[in-house]
Amino acid sequence: MGNRGLWIWRLSDIRTDYISKLKKCNVKRVYLKVLDAASDNVFWDFQCTKAIIKKFHENDIEVYGWGFHYGYSDFSDEVEAIDYALDCGILGYVADMESAVENSLTHTHVRKFLKSIRDKFDGNLGYTSFGHPEFHPKVPWKILDKYCDFAMPQIYYEKFTFKNNNAEEVTACLKAHETMGLNKPIYPIWGSESDSHNPSPADELQFYLQSHPGSSIWRAPKRGERGEAWNLDYSDPTIEIVPEVIPGADNVNLLVGAGLPTLKRYLRLGSIGDDVEALQKALFVRAIYTGSISGEFHVETQSAVRLFQAQSAISIDGVVGPETWGALGGATSIEVPESNDRGLLADIAQREGELRLKWTGADSEAEKYLEPLRKPMQDIDHIGNDPVFFNWCAAFVTWCCREAGISIPNQPDGFYATMALVEAWKYWAKKENFWFDPGSTNPIRGDIVVFEWFDGDSQLDHIGVVSSYEINSEIFISSEGNKGNRTYHGKRKIVNVAGIIRII
């Protein structure tokens, strides 16, 4: 089932040069609508013909048919339509069953229908339905799973809102199939449609398409319609592994994926060293990474890490820590305190931000944020002995981190100021490899963000904790201290983010 594919609704609505465009995009399979149980003529003979299917096949493009099914008591017309489509040359079929079959009265008919057609496709019969099965428990999932050979859930994450970001939504959908005991191979359908509020850009769609062999894109857009389906590469990454081309590689260890050293630090964008080189080799032999074995963790390495994390159903952040290294088969000596919880940090910061606390003096409740850093600042003559006001946004973040059990120093080694200064946070984060430049990653809940208000001074002006962010949005939700001398929880513009601090 390896070929990635593109779904087609009506051939007459899409570009007329679709064959040449499909070839240019390296599409090896299309899912062509061949029937609709609610149509006057169930079989779509206007686009499922021997001549049309032959044209696809002559251009090395497989054709699988698909159609809508509604659970009617008599499936005979649909079975007949499928026979017509088979006679035209389709190689497989996907039954689309959604809200109509949530009615329990249809389940007996669904079982009978699938049982009657399964032997016609010799392992190439699939079903498609909602992306997150736990949200639609009345769909006869166990019946679909029993009689079909594979599942193609409609994981249109750009339309979902049940998690903080797209990666979490995709992971939740995939894990829900496992939770419900659905055992057939999963080949997700990713959406690229004009009615999405925040349409996924081509590079993100490409990432998910590449992450899952056999996945596909819904759908080829109509002429003049928005969508990224024609801007993707659907080819399967096939890499002939030639160990000799990798300088200094131990060929035996390389071929079996062994030889990973013990991981002693987190690896992320900008990391350099032998451990990065070992990472690149491990990803190379898995046909995930195709770049040079340089020992430099660059953007191409980060993309490969994210791809591996998606395939391994672990947190997708492009950072290699104990979980990712372990999935590659390596051991780690990194100790991660259980209390080091970004989700808890976000919860605490949001709670404090919503209090709208104001500093008015030593007796005000907001003094709790400033007080822990007063003596460290006094010790280096940055403030006097009186509890006077100082810009306390960084002190707020320091306090929230410590409340979440995250160890934050009073003053970074080698820096002239305490963590009451935003620039001290940047210095410390870069030293600890927690720093991400703007655009190198998307902010996620529990990240710490620093702001520059583009006033020309190139200095970091403010700092806060990310509460939520939707990919491609211009706005995110942040929790902060000292916004107009109050704690704050609300909207900020992504364009003002000058850096992201992700404490692992």
Interaxial angle between packed helices 393-403 and 342-355, expressed in degrees from 0 to 180 and rounded to the nearest 10: 130
Write the DSSP string, 118-175.
GGGSTT-EEEE-BS-GGG-TTS-HHHHHHH-SEE--EE-GGG--SSSSHHHHHHHHHH
Range of the domain at 181: 5-231
Distance from C-alpha of 325 to C-alpha of 330, rounded to nearest angstrom: 5
In this predicted structure, the answer to whether residue 122 has a pLDDT above a threshold of 80 is yes
Confidence of residue 105 (pLDDT cuts 50, 70, 90): very high
Query: What average pLDDT does the segment 401-417 reach?
Result: 92
In this predicted structure, the answer to whether residue 252 has a pLDDT above a threshold of 50 is no
251 and 108, same structural domain? no
In the predicted model, what is the mean pLDDT of the chain?
87
Distance from C-alpha of 444 to C-alpha of 433, rounded to nearest angstrom: 17
In this predicted structure, the answer to whether residue 255 has a pLDDT above a threshold of 50 is no
162 and 279, same structural domain? no
220 and 253, same structural domain? no
Strand ordering across the sheet containing 216-218: 150-151, 125-128, 92-96, 62-68, 29-36, 5-8, 216-218, 189-191, 154-155
Confidence of residue 72 (pLDDT cuts 50, 70, 90): confident
State the pairing for strand pair 125-128/150-151: parallel
What is the length of the chain?
504
- Of 489 and 291, the structure prediction assigns the larger pLDDT to 489
Residue 396 contacts by C-beta under 8 Å, 6 or more apart in sequence?
Answer: 349, 352, 369, 480, 481, 482, 487
Q: Is residue 238 part of a domain?
A: no
Distance from C-alpha of 387 to C-alpha of 372, rounded to nearest angstrom: 11
**The pLDDT value given to residue 457:** 60
User: Poorest-confidence range of 56-65, 362-371, 453-462?
Assistant: 453-462
255 and 172, same structural domain? no
Interaxial angle between packed helices 274-285 and 299-311, expressed in degrees from 0 to 180 and rounded to the nearest 10: 50
Q: Is residue 354 part of a domain?
A: yes
128 and 41, same structural domain? yes
441 and 409, same structural domain? yes
The number of distinct structural domains making up the chain is: 3
Distance from C-alpha of 125 to C-alpha of 115, rounded to nearest angstrom: 11
- Of 464 and 260, the structure prediction assigns the larger pLDDT to 464
CB-CB contact of 233 with 23 (8 Å): no
User: Poorest-confidence range of 150-159, 171-180, 219-228, 248-257?
Assistant: 248-257
Confidence of residue 323 (pLDDT cuts 50, 70, 90): confident
Query: What average pLDDT does the segment 232-260 reach?
Result: 48
203 and 318, same structural domain? no
Which tokens sit at 497? 């983010």
**pLDDT tens digits, 190-205:** 998 777 777 888 888 8
In this predicted structure, the answer to whether residue 289 has a pLDDT above a threshold of 80 is yes
Helix (H/G/I), strand (E/B), else coil: 233: coil
* CA dihedral of residues 54, 58, 60, 62 (deg, nearest 10): 0
The closest of 269, 207, 184 to 440, measured between CA atoms, is 269
**What distance lies between CA 501 and its chain's CA centroid?**
19
Which of 204, 231, 258 is the last residue before a domain boundary? 231
**The pLDDT value given to residue 332:** 87
- Of 370 and 281, the structure prediction assigns the larger pLDDT to 370
C-alpha distances in Å from residue 283, one per residue of 250, 266, 322, 324, 368: 15, 16, 16, 11, 47
For residue 16, count other CB atoms closer than 10 A to its CB: 10
Q: Is residue 236 part of a domain?
A: no
Which CATH number fits the domain that encloses residue 220? 3.20.20.80
319 and 260, same structural domain? yes
In this predicted structure, the answer to whether residue 148 has a pLDDT above a threshold of 90 is yes
364 and 263, same structural domain? no
102 and 217, same structural domain? yes
**The pLDDT value given to residue 99:** 94
Per-position b or e across 447-481, b if 16+ CB within 10 A of its CB = bbbbbbeeeeeeebbbbbbbbbbbbbeeebbbbbb
H helices within 333-452, ranges in order?
Answer: 342-355, 367-379, 393-403, 422-431
Which CATH number fits the domain that encloses residue 409? 3.90.1720
State the pairing for strand pair 497-501/448-451: antiparallel
For the chain, percent of residues with pLDDT exceeding 70: 92
Which tokens sit at 503? 């404490």
**The pLDDT value given to residue 391:** 95
**The pLDDT value given to residue 454:** 63
Query: What average pLDDT does the segment 488-492 reach?
Result: 95
Please give the angle made by the CA atoms of 405, 410 and 416, to the nearest 5 degrees. 150
**The pLDDT value given to residue 7:** 98
**The pLDDT value given to residue 238:** 42
Q: Is residue 368 part of a domain?
A: yes
In this predicted structure, the answer to whether residue 421 has a pLDDT above a threshold of 90 is yes
Q: Is residue 468 part of a domain?
A: yes
Which CATH number fits the domain that encloses residue 315? 1.10.101.10
Residue 363 contacts by C-beta under 8 Å, 6 or more apart in sequence?
Answer: none
Helix (H/G/I), strand (E/B), else coil: 366: coil
**The pLDDT value given to residue 203:** 81
At position 10, the amino acid (one-letter code) is R
Q: Is residue 237 part of a domain?
A: no
Which tokens sit at 190? 């990713």
